[in-house]
């Protein structure tokens, strides 16, 4: 087999494997070098398995409220081992699917760890297999799609040990159920795990350094989320920092500083959800002179780096750190390599979703950001309790918020909390992509009865025309 390719992709996650498939579709001889799991963190230890866990938690939540639906259930319980086994089986199934798709598209998969050295058209790829064998691979272009891993803070003792102090990976495969859980960080990862374990009965404390949880979300949505989580029994500490962690064989004591005061929290397990670090070590970037910014590889927005023939996509290339951004970036990068006319990634049009209970989803500018940029805005709000489908589902709590440019009618942002908003947000993403105005959204017919009717009502509300509030 020849070791020469048109394109080599380092990393088989949602950015890498999608880029490889698109390259193969465009006729490029392509290889993927992956050291661990096809599908990457997202499919194996992130997006997919966590959603499987949360699906189990959601069903369990509904069981607890069966009487509200005119149903009866007795001896409600859960089997943690089976919940985890279901999650792992789903990941395994989908990882197999990725392998099939790569084979179908005639992409060569090399099970090895890659590094780079100087080449001619692009850096030379050195693939080292687990058995110690080494291959030198050449290509016209190389894409780095190595992703990222959980951030740690050794100075404060925030280092995962696989036993008492967890990252997302250990939190997905617990050997026993923690009755007391401390979650450090209230981004999507921290809140999703907090929601899962709380649904199953754990006492959950969330510590956030910012002055509100889910700090990247619109402030109004963040406030509603905090109220909803507190109603579920979360203990939430904001403007708080963990100064240290100390362990015994069975529990962890966290020293928390907030408002100039220090307190201690004792937990059975701690989940670290304090951000990510790009996987760039050992690639040889410094030797090649690759430009980086705080560890992330600098690109032109379509994957191109400052080194000839070298590209980077996904988490390793910076925020937003989302699988769908990585996939889209991978396609754009490959199409640019092929010489096609492509558009770059606009971060404001990348949706973000948190699959907790309740769900949170958003796209575009927050209200505060829009005002800071000087926009004169029109803002619409529609509550879930005004929607027939939401009431019928037993999900009357939530809000759809839309932000428009008062002068042009441009949709600047949409922010949502409540049942199934992670599905509904895509409607606004499409609208923003098509540069739809408020007039066109108002004239669109939404099916009844649906939750998506609230999206229409929120637009109407921004212009004083809401019907059902």
State both tokens at 29: 């001889």
Beta-carbon neighbour count of residue 441 at 10 Å?
A: 23
Q: Whose CA is closest to 435, among 405, 411, 415, 456?
A: 411
Beta-carbon neighbour count of residue 124 at 10 Å?
A: 19
Q: Is the dihedral of CA 303, 305, 311, 315 positive or negative?
A: negative
* SS3 state at 350: coil
Non-local CB neighbours of 160 within 8 Å, separated by 6+ positions: 150, 152, 166, 167, 170, 272
Q: Are 465 and 438 in contact (CB under 8 A)?
A: no
Is the bond preceding 126 in cis, omega lying within 30 degrees of 0? no
311 a catalytic residue: no
CA dist., res. 14 & res. 12, Å (int) = 7
Q: Whose CA is closest to 393, among 76, 56, 62, 72?
A: 62
Which among 37, 448, 456, 468 is annotated as catalytic?
448
Non-local CB neighbours of 153 within 8 Å, separated by 6+ positions: 159, 274
CA dist., res. 392 & res. 194, Å (int) = 27
First to last CA, the chain: 67
Catalytic residues: 448
């Amino acid at each position: 087999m020849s070791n020469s390719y048109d394109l080599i992709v380092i990393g088989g996650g949602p950015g890498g494997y999608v880029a490889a498939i698109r390259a193969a579709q465009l006729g490029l001889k392509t290889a993927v070098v992956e050291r661990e799991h096809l599908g990457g963190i997202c499919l194996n230890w992130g997006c997919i398995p966590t959603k499987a866990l949360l699906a189990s938690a959601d069903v369990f939540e509904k069981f607890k409220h069966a009487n509200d639906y005119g149903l009866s259930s007795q001896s409600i319980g859960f089997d943690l081992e089976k919940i985890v086994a279901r999650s792992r089986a789903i990941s395994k199934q989908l990882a197999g699917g990725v392998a099939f798709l790569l084979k179908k598209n005639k992409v060569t998969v090399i099970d090895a760890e890659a590094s780079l050295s100087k080449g001619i058209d692009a850096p030379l790829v050195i693939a080292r297999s687990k058995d110690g064998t080494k291959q030198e691979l050449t290509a016209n272009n190389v894409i780095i799609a190595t992703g990222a891993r959980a951030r740690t803070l050794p100075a404060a003792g925030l280092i995962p040990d696989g036993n008492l102090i967890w990252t997302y990976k250990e939190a997905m495969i617990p050997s026993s159920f923690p009755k007391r859980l401390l979650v450090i960080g209230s981004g999507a990862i921290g809140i999703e795990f907090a929601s899962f374990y709380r649904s199953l009965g754990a006492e959950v404390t969330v510590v956030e350094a910012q002055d509100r949880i889910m700090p990247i979300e619109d402030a109004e949505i963040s406030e509603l989320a905090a109220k909803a989580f507190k109603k579920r029994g979360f203990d939430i500490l904001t403007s708080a920092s963990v100064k240290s962690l100390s362990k015994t064989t069975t529990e962890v004591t966290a020293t928390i500083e907030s408002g100039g005061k220090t307190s201690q929290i004792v937990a059975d397990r701690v989940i670290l959800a304090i951000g990510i670090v790009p996987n760039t070590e050992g690639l040889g970037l410094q030797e090649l002179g690759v430009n980086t910014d705080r560890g992330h590889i600098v690109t032109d927005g379509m994957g191109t780096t400052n080194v000839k023939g070298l590209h980077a996509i996904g988490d390793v290339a910076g925020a937003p750190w989302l699988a769908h951004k990585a996939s889209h970036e991978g396609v754009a990068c490959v199409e640019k390599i092929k010489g096609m006319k492509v558009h770059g990634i606009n971060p404001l049009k990348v949706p973000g979703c948190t699959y907790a209970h309740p769900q949170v989803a958003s796209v575009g500018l927050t209200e505060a950001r829009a005002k800071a940029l000087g926009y004169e805005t029109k803002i619409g709000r529609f509550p879930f309790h005004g929607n027939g489908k939401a009431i019928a589902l037993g999900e009357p709590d939530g809000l759809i918020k839309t932000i428009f440019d008062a002068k042009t009618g441009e949709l600047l942002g949409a922010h949502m909390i409540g049942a199934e908003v992670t599905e509904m947000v895509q409607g606004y993403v499409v609208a923003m992509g098509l540069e739809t105005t408020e007039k066109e959204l108002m004239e669109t017919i939404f099916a009844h009865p649906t939750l998506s009717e609230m999206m229409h009502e929120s637009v109407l509300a921004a212009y004083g025309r809401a019907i059902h509030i």
